[in-house]
Amino acid sequence: MNGPLVYCGGLAATNAYLVDMGGHLLAIDAPEGFLGFLKNKKLKPDSLLLTHGHWDHIWDAADLADWAGCPVYYHPDTALLCLEPDSMLAFGLPQRLRPVHATQLLEETGPIPVTWDGAQLLLVPGHCPGSLCLYFPSFGQLYGGDVLFADGVGRWDLPGGDRDQLLSGIRTKILTLPGKTVVYPGHGPATTVGREKSSNPFLSET
């Protein structure tokens, strides 16, 4: 598995990824404009993972799933945001979005789609309830949503946010991964676990 196809767009400059796992195309998050991007490239995802339910990550999700005919996956703790996106109207959502229904709710320790061969789920809330990271140990890749960024971490001032929970989850579940692991975040450039462990100012106590 090579590096992903990267898309960045929407009001919050949100990243989405298309990961080719040997013929199975996995889309990770669906910000505004991602559907048009995929149509232009004539690429239909075989599945869609939403790392969490904030509006900038689910903007195109319902339409994308309808167009591609693909299953949608997210954690049960973020289901309310996916099913009732209008709840975010007071927190930056500029317009009403379609609800996004899950084909299957994913737990950290539960089964994952068999087509995601070798992947592991890491539940790291604190930025948002039910924030999931998808880790491929064999390829040294982590798709982290809005948990860990280059020189930053996810904000914790939105409903359901918790600074201590977020930082604890990063330290115990992400910084313990091999230092060369590439982190593909929900915003900004890719980074590595080793770089953030040594220089991220939010994690300086580690």
Each residue's pLDDT tens digit in the chain (206 positions)? 688 999 999 999 999 999 999 889 999 999 999 999 999 999 999 999 999 999 999 999 999 999 999 999 999 999 999 999 888 777 777 778 999 999 999 999 999 999 998 999 999 999 999 999 999 999 999 999 999 999 999 999 988 999 999 999 999 999 999 999 999 999 999 999 999 999 999 998 64
Cβ atoms of residues 85 and 58 within 8 Å: yes
Residue 2's pLDDT is what? 81
- Domain range summary for the chain, segments of one domain joined by +: 5-203
Q: Which fold has domain 5-203?
A: Metallo-beta-lactamase; Chain A (3.60.15)
Q: What is the DSSP string of the chain?
A: --PPEEEEETTTTEEEEEEESSS-EEEE---TTHHHHHHHHT---SEEE-S---HHHHTTHHHHHHHHT--EEE-GGGHHHHH-GGGGGGGT--S-------SEE--TTS---TTSTT-EEEE--SSSTT-EEEEETTTTEEEEETSEETTEE----STT--HHHHHHHIIIIITTS-TTPEEEESSS--EEHHHHHHH-GGGTT-
Q: Is the pTM of this model over 0.85?
A: yes
